[in-house]
Chain A
Amino acid sequence: MIGGGFGGASCARLIKSEDRDIAVTLIEANSTYIACPFSNAVIAGLRQLEQQKFGYDRVRAAGIDVVHRKVTAVDTKQRTVRLEDGKQLAYDRLVVAPGVELRFDAIPGYNEAAAELLPHAWKAGEQTLLLRRQLEAMKDGGVVVMSAPANPFRCPPGPYERASLIAHYLKTHKPRSKLILLDAKDAFSKQKLFEAAWKELYPGLIEWVSLSSGGNVTRVETDTRTFVTEFGSHVADVGNVIPPQRAAAVAALAGVADQTGWCPVDPVSFESTLQPGVHVIGDAIIAGGMPKSAFSANSQARVCATAVVDLLRERTPATPKLINTCYSLVAPDYGISIAGVYQPANGLLTDVPGAGGVSPLDAPKSVRVQESTYAEAWFKTITHSVFG
Chain B
Amino acid sequence: MNRLMHTLVAATLVVAPGLTSAASPPGAASCLGCHTVAVDGGPVPALGSFTAEQMVTAMQAFRSGSRSATVMNRIAKGFSDEEIKAIADWYARRKSK
A contact residues vs B (CB 8 Å cutoff): 18-19, 295, 298-299, 302-303, 306-307, 309-310, 313-325, 337, 339-341, 343, 352, 354-357, 359, 367, 370-371, 373-374, 377-378, 380-382, 385
Contact = CB atoms under 8 A, between A and B. Distances in A.
A111 B32 CA distance: 39
A320 B23 contact: yes
Interface string B41-74: 0111000000000000000000000000011001
Given A310-B23, A377-B34, A382-B33, A325 B42 contact: no
Contact of A321 (B32, B44, B77, B78): B78
A195 to B, nearest CB: 20
Interface residues of B, number: 31
A379 B31 CA distance: 14
Nearest to A295: B33
Given A295-B33, A382-B33, A355 B23 contact: no
Contacts of A309: 22
A18 B21 CA distance: 12
A357 B74 CA distance: 6
Interface in B8-47: 14, 18-24, 26-27, 29-36, 40, 42-44
Majority SS at the chain A contact face: mixed
Contacts of A356: 74-75, 77-78
Contacts of A374: 34, 43-44, 70-71
B83 interface: yes
Given A339-B71, A374-B34, A323 B43 contact: no
Given A321-B27, A325-B34, A315 B74 contact: no
A377 B44 CA distance: 7
Given A306-B24, A322-B29, 7 more contacts: A315-B19, A315-B21, A322-B30, A325-B75, A367-B70, A374-B34, A380-B42
B33 A323 contact: yes
A315 B18 CA distance: 7
A227 to B, nearest CB: 36
Of the listed residues B18, B71, B76, the one surrounded by the most CB atoms of chain A closer than 10 A to its CB is B71
A339 B75 contact: yes
Contact of A337 (B31, B35, B70, B83): B70
A315 B78 CA distance: 27
